[in-house]
Amino acid sequence: MSADRDGDAGFTLEVGRSAEHGLAAGLYCAESVVQALAQAQGIDSDMLPKMATAFCGGMSRTCGTCGALTGAVMGVSLALGRSGPHESAEAAYAATQSLVRSFEQEFGARNCDQLLGCDLGTAEGQASFHENRLHERCARYTIRAAEIAAALIPPVRKR
């Protein structure tokens, strides 16, 4: 699967804009991405941002995987994941592997502290985040993670 499918550019850009609007409305990275990807699949639930909250800020400010990327993985799983134990996980795994590779290739890392250059779990890291306006960088990661994931899932065609 390619993160740059032809023909569905409008779909991927729409999902990216939706994630950006989520951020502007006050959602965090993982929350914004999973919600945008879910809505693009016709799924709307208050549970989506809730299940993503602790993934924000690099796994709750522990220097873990970027929340935007984990939100994208959750969105891919909504589209391609298993509904039961006898179904294959291979489509979800392949898409997620492509997603992670594309994200790392574009940004050079997958962990929050490496992407931002600070540890959000410390007072110094929080100060750096605000002083250096790193939320702008997070917005870029959020939009692109949503777009890359959207390119890997089948778009829902509205009738």
The terminus-to-terminus CA distance of the chain in angstroms comes to 26
What is the pLDDT averaged over residues 5-28? 88
95: Cβ–Cβ under 8 A, 6 or more apart, which residues?
A: 1, 76, 79, 80, 149, 152, 153
% of the chain exceeding 70 in pLDDT: 93
Q: Look at residue 4 in the predicted model and tell me its pLDDT.
A: 41
Lowest mean pLDDT among 3-7, 9-13, 41-45: 3-7
What is the pLDDT averaged over residues 126-154? 96
The CA radius of gyration of the chain, in Å to the nearest whole number, is 15
Above 60 in pLDDT, residue 1? Answer: no
| Reported confidence tier of residue 9, pLDDT bands at 50, 70, 90 | confident
C-alpha to C-alpha distance for 149 and 138, rounded to whole angstroms: 16
Q: For residue range 29-77, list pLDDT tens digits in order.
A: 999 999 999 999 999 999 999 999 999 999 999 999 999 999 999 999 9
Domain regions of the chain by residue span = 9-150
Listing DSSP states for 28-56 in one string gives: -HHHHHHHHHHHHTT---THHHHHHGGGH
Above 70 in pLDDT, residue 5? Answer: no
| Reported confidence tier of residue 109, pLDDT bands at 50, 70, 90 | very high
Q: Is pLDDT larger for residue 2 or for residue 38?
A: 38
Q: What is the pTM of this model?
A: 0.92
Lowest mean pLDDT among 50-54, 81-85, 151-155: 151-155
